[in-house]
Amino acid sequence: MPLEIQLPGQTAQSTGRVVGIDLGTTNSLVAFVENGIAKIIEGRGDERSSSKLVPSVVTLDDYGSVVAVGNKAKERSTQDAQHTVYSVKRLMGKSYQDVKKEAGLLTYRLVPADEGLVRVQIGKKLYTPIELSSYVLVELKKRAEAFFNEPVTRAVITVPAYFNDAQRHATKDAGRLAGLDVLRIISEPTAAALAYGLDKTKEGIVAVYDLGGGTFDISILKITNGIFEVLSTNGDTYLGGDDIDRRLMELFITQIKYMTPTFDPTPEQMQKIRQIAEKAKIDLSTQSRVMIEIDLPEAGVSYRRNLTLQEFERVAKTVIERTRKPCEDAIRDAKIDVIDIDEVVLVGGATRMPMVKALVHEIFQRKPHDELNPDETVALGAAIQANILAGETKDILLLDVTPLSLGIETMGGMMSTIIPRNSTIPTKVTETYTTFVDNQTGVEVNVFQGERDFVKDNRHLASFTLKGIPPLPAGAAKVEVTFLIDADGILQVKARETHTGIEQQVEVKPSYGLSEEEIDRMLKESIENASTDIAGRRLVEAKTEAQRILAATEKVLGQLRRGQLPVTAAKLKGINVADVIDALYALRRAVNGDDPAEIAKQQSLLERATEPLAREIMNAAVAEALEGKTVEQV
């Protein structure tokens, strides 16, 4: 029986043709809501009437034509491995450098593009992961259209919670290429919690542990009166069941080569071994041992052995154990204790493995719920979200979060965070900045992503220049910088000069995303280097402020020497300019050092020395402004 979820408070009415899509690493699904019930759309005709899963596999020829998608492509993979692409989701938004270490285990060819992006080469044609994903989406779209017998053009598509801005963009672009109006990009764990929470009408704190074919996510959500609020999210967009398959492949190939030293597997033979490894993993979720049979007569290979559950778990342990730290980090980021979590939900096919359930039980100190079909829950949640956006469900509110902090570069190479990580989205935040030098007519806005205090330690996302600022004294011009993250988690940045109203904006589309190593490094180093970063920030902020005061003081002294200040000689007799100059040089020497306390001390002394002069300048300016005016005019 397909998993169905009855939505609360709905009447039996048509929702219109809007679908939810789980674009998975291994398999994909499409779902819809009808008469208040979320259902998976099953295949018809050539795609096997009983099949709900569409393998995320595409076969292409040398001339750029799509030969097969889904089950047919998966069947062809052992005969035409070099033309068959799988696990493409792991390539979304990635550079070649991010994935090249895995290239040797794939049966198709990865190559770098000129801008560093990864491409898949089939024949002489290069494909982006976006194009390849769009072919899977087209197949899902056709499946839905065959089911409804009418066009389907609107969809909600799910992505791992830890997909960054580039990867979300890539997924949305794949939808557009497939002819879909992507109403929303929704995080997979959030979709699963949405489906689970509605089914059980739960309230409280829920942890969603989502381990699929290629990605892992952990999200902590609070469900209250129909409001689904994500408290924190963590994970790894390059971790999943595929990694276990590859370790089994390596084990089998190593043992085959020991018996047959001349064995050098072809892409087709690699694909056959990969499918045998994947089947063994699935079978060992319900069995204590399986027989491995690899027959490759053309290579003189006849490999047979028993694989026990215990041996399999030794192979898989390092992969599964990698999910522990993101879970612990998510609990900490949610600012709760593990005992505060009311429910733990398992999502993703890899969670069927007994060792995964045992690890989750250990981490969260409670037995996880595994009664729902982990392959279908995300698609059902996407369909429910699609139904909400179509206006059919009105008593549900979904609040997601952004996984990494976003900000801009300020003076001294500092990171000025505008939207902190784990902020609820959609969100809009505006901060005001000033110019640093006199007559500055342009401001370069550099956008960064990361957790460190200095931009050199974070990831650069985009740059643009705001021109046409009126030439005013330093600090007089005001520039408002607005960060807007939409409900898809996609960032827009706008800068506006307040006097003239001129503005410039950009939708941030980085060329490729963060690797997992970079994300882990950012979060780890933000903790390990917290004290160093704070000290560094104090020093840079002290120097920046001191340099501003030095520039202002030197400007006034220059005007004083040229007789350009509205201060009479009589007034200046009581002011010791030499003391001001001495204090200025002392502060300059302190700025050249590395002691923020000394800089602050000398800055204070300079401010004290210039106070009489500043007072006289202010008095003279006010007197000049008031000269010849009546009280009423003032």
Establish whether 22 is a catalytic residue.
yes
DSSP notation for 342-384:
-EEEEESGGGGSHHHHHHHHHHHTSPPB--S-TTTHHHHHHHH
Q: What are phi and psi of 15, to 5 degrees?
A: -100, -5
Instruction: Write out the H or E segment, with its range, that includes residue 105.
Output: none
Residue 416's SS3 state is strand
Instruction: Write out the H or E segment, with its range, that includes residue 18.
Output: strand 18-22
Give the number of other CB atoms < 10 A from CB of residue 412: 16
Residue of 188, 245, 533, 616 with catalytic role: 188
Establish whether 283 is a catalytic residue.
no
Establish whether 395 is a catalytic residue.
no
Residue of 39, 89, 94, 272 with catalytic role: 89
Residue of 210, 242, 376, 409 with catalytic role: 210
Strand partners, 308: 289
Cβ atoms 493, 506 nearer than 8 A: yes
CA 551 to chain centre: 41
Q: What are phi and psi of 301, to 5 degrees?
A: -110, 125
Name the token pair of 69: 């998608």
Establish whether 188 is a catalytic residue.
yes
Cβ atoms 57, 50 nearer than 8 A: no
Phi-psi bin for 230: left (phi > 0), alpha (psi -120 to 50), beta? beta
Residue of 22, 47, 375, 616 with catalytic role: 22
CA 509 to chain centre: 12
Cβ atoms 307, 292 nearer than 8 A: yes
d(CA 269, CA 296): 8
d(CA 506, CA 514): 20
The residues annotated as belonging to the active site are: 22, 89, 188, 210
